[in-house]
Every structure is written in structure tokens, then in C-alpha cells.
Chain A
């Protein structure tokens, strides 16, 4: 017993080092898997307040770009207004088939909320950003984040009462279901951690005609992102003869270095979609066992 105490006293520095090192690695790997770490909620509240203050200063440097983006979005929305259209032919008659559904009552699928980026990096391999809206404002995990010119930015991974943390598209662990707009062929957009201006699109088969400059949008199969939002444009397409798929370099539509205002998009039917998927899995398993 005495020897144990002597041992501890002799090697106290090394033991402390070992203990703290294990603790640090534990936080790190636990965080890498689930995006939740010890005391992160509390830390978010503190860092969020600080970031909000410093971001106020930072805003002045990106005001011009932000203005142009907002103006562009306003422009596209103005063009949708009904007063821009007129109906020259009175013989056109809208027939509403009321048999199956009540068309007057639309079902809302996506809800948009405005938020502000308070901290953002592009230089790391795992880039995260912090927004000034949290669970108090109805933000939850897995909501989509869209820039002010409607380009894909990332996904919410963690929330505290007043702030939320977003896994940027420029994060090697992020993956967004996307489609080639012209052909409708779907694939996945991921980042290789190298150049923050480009992301990689995988899973487009080689029989599809892909040209430089083609638009890549979010696919209809994504549970987080509304369909048809801009991801980027093709900068380079490489034929990979081994797999039969293209490896496509996509220039991101969002400018990650000057993000200010963003939208957080909630898919109101997400739970239902996920539940259906889970139940389908269970059903398939049951059928498999029955057939045996």
C-alpha cells in the first residue's frame, strides 16, 4: 500500500498527463461520432455571445457582397409575383378535381427561418459555423441551412437555447444528396478537405452527358434540403474507368468566406418520412423471416 502511494507521488506529473490526455481524446472521439461533447451547450452560450459581438465588426467587411446576394434573391422573387403575368385568353378555365384531395388546403412541408452566422471557418478539415438561433427559436438537429442567395450551406448538428452549431458543406463528414439538373441523375456531394471553393459530386453514371458549367441542385430524395436548391456548377468532370461513374468537381454556389445572413429550413414531414422508412425496414425483415 505504501509503495502504491510512493509510486503515485513519484510519477504524479506523468499520471496527470496520462489522465488529462485520455480525457481530451475521449472528448474528441466522442464528439467526432455524435457531435455532442461535455459542456458543449454551456460553452456555446458563452462563445456565442462573444462571437456575436466580434461578428458585428466583421460584418462591415462583407456588407457589399451580402447586399448583392439579397438583391439577387429579391429580384428572383419579384419575378414570381402574379402581377407580372396576365391571361390573354378568357377561354382558359381551371378545372379543379376535388375528388381525391382538397386542393385549396395545401400541406406545408418546409418552414424557413432567418438566422445570422456569428462564427465560421474554411481553413480546417472539419469546418463548423455558429448561428444566433437556437432551440428557443425552434431550431433542432438536422435542419438544413441555406445561404441568402439560396445555395446550400450545411446542416444543424447541435443546438443550445440561443445558438446552434452547423456542420458546413466544407466538412469532410458532410454529405448532401444532390442531382444533375439537366438529366435529373442523382448523386452525393462531399468535400475532400482540400480546396474550400470546390466540392466533389459522386455517383453520376458515365452514360449521362455532363458538361462543364452544368448546374448541380439538391435532389428530391433529401430529407433535410428542399429540392431544387443550388449546390454549385460543374468545374471539372473526370471519367473514372474503374467504377463507371464520374468524379465531378463542383464549384460551390455559396461563398463560404463571406456568409452573413442564412436561412434555416425545417422539413415538417421529416419525422414522418423517417418513421415510414424505419417501419418499412421492420416489415421487410418480418417478411424475410416469414418466407423462410
Chain B
């Protein structure tokens, strides 16, 4: 499938799942807020320019914000992980982006340990910033720490479930083919 088409399809699926399923599940506990939508940004292809990544991240967050009636909140957090993403990838695999054998980050492309670290750092970053912005509204520092830990745990669990349930079929790219 065309990469652009595939990503547009993913964008819609992630938004619908977040807004109409995860945000609406019956209340379990105040610390358990399931966030999965930002996985879309983590799955974007390596080949995207950094500026494009920023703009996609910002508008993706903004669309979610208007759907959940919290303008600016998720946009700010998404922008942060979109900005941090290339640095984390280069930290984990110090290679040029053109040398990647797969088109986008996945357990197959990075290997499970590196992929876990990649997911964990960006999830933590996203949730920390999101909770920080909410902390400014109703401040309780202990709640803030527990909330970051709990939501990060829930998100990690969701992401691994998605990875195991829907393994992405990625083609191995050789240098000659590209």
C-alpha cells in the first residue's frame, strides 16, 4: 500500500479509537487514563523531514483537541514528541536515515529492546508534559507523579498489545531496490 494512504488511514483509525473508545470507557480509576493516539506519531516513516514531522504532530494534536474540547493541550504534547523523535532514534541507532532497512520504527526494524526504549522514552515525555499542563490547573504534586507513572504504564501495555495483535508487515528494503 502507498505509504501516504496507509498513514492517512492510520490517522483516522487512531483518532476514532482514542476519542470514541478509549475516552469513553467506563471510569476505572482516576489514575488510569488510557492514551494510545500518539502511537501514530511514533509509527511515522523515518524518511519524513523534521519540519514535516513537527507540522504533522501539531495538527494531529490540534484535531484531537477540538474533538475532545481541550484546545492546545494535546497539540503541545504531540509537538514535543514530534520534535524529540529524531533525536531518540539517532540516539538508539546512530545511522543515517537513508541506511534504514525498514521504512518506519517497529520491533522488527529496531529490535525489541531498542524499540521498547524508544516507545518508553517518548511515552514518558508525552505524558509528563501533558500532566504538567494539567497540573498548572489543579495542583497536587504527588498526584502528578503517580499519574505519570500510571498512565505511562497503561499506555505501554496498550502499545504492546497493539504490536502483538497487529504485527505490521514491513518490507525489507535493500540498497539496490531503493
A residues with CB within 8 A of B: 12-14, 16-17, 20-21, 24-29, 31-32, 37-40, 43, 46-47, 50, 54, 58, 119, 121-126, 128, 130, 165, 172-173, 192-197, 257
Contacts and interface: CB of A to CB of B under 8 A. Distances in A.
Nearest to A25: B76
B26 interface: yes
A257 B80 CA distance: 32
Contacts of B58: 20, 24
A47 B71 contact: no
Contact of A16 (B24, B26, B51): B51
Given A24-B62, A192-B138, 8 more contacts: A14-B83, A24-B79, A25-B133, A27-B75, A31-B70, A124-B70, A172-B138, A197-B27
Given A17-B83, A21-B80, A24-B76, A31 B27 contact: no
A245 to B, nearest CB: 21
Interface of B: 20, 23-27, 30, 33, 50-51, 54-55, 58, 61-62, 66-73, 75-76, 79-80, 83, 133-134, 137-138
A14 B79 CA distance: 11
A196 B79 CA distance: 30
A122 B27 contact: yes
A20 B138 contact: no
A17 B54 contact: yes
A192 B30 CA distance: 11
Given A16-B54, A17-B54, A32-B137, A124 B72 contact: no
Nearest to B61: A24
A219 to B, nearest CB: 24
A193 B75 contact: no
B72 A37 contact: yes
Q: Is the interface of B mostly helix, strand, loop or mixed?
A: helix
Contact of A26 (B25, B51, B55, B72): B72
Nearest to A166: B69
Q: Name which of B50, B70, B133 has the most chain A CB atoms within 10 A of its CB.
A: B70
A124 B80 CA distance: 21
B15 to A, nearest CB: 10
Contacts of A26: 72
A118 B157 CA distance: 30
Contact of B69 (A25, A165, A196): A165
Contact of B138 (A165, A193, A257): A193
Given A20-B58, A130-B69, A28 B79 contact: no
Contact of B66 (A29, A40, A196, A257): A40
A257 B58 CA distance: 30
B66 A125 contact: no
What 3 A-B pairs are tightest by C-beta distance, nearest first? A28-B72, A27-B72, A37-B71
B66 A47 contact: yes
B151 to A, nearest CB: 11
Contacts of B55: 16, 20
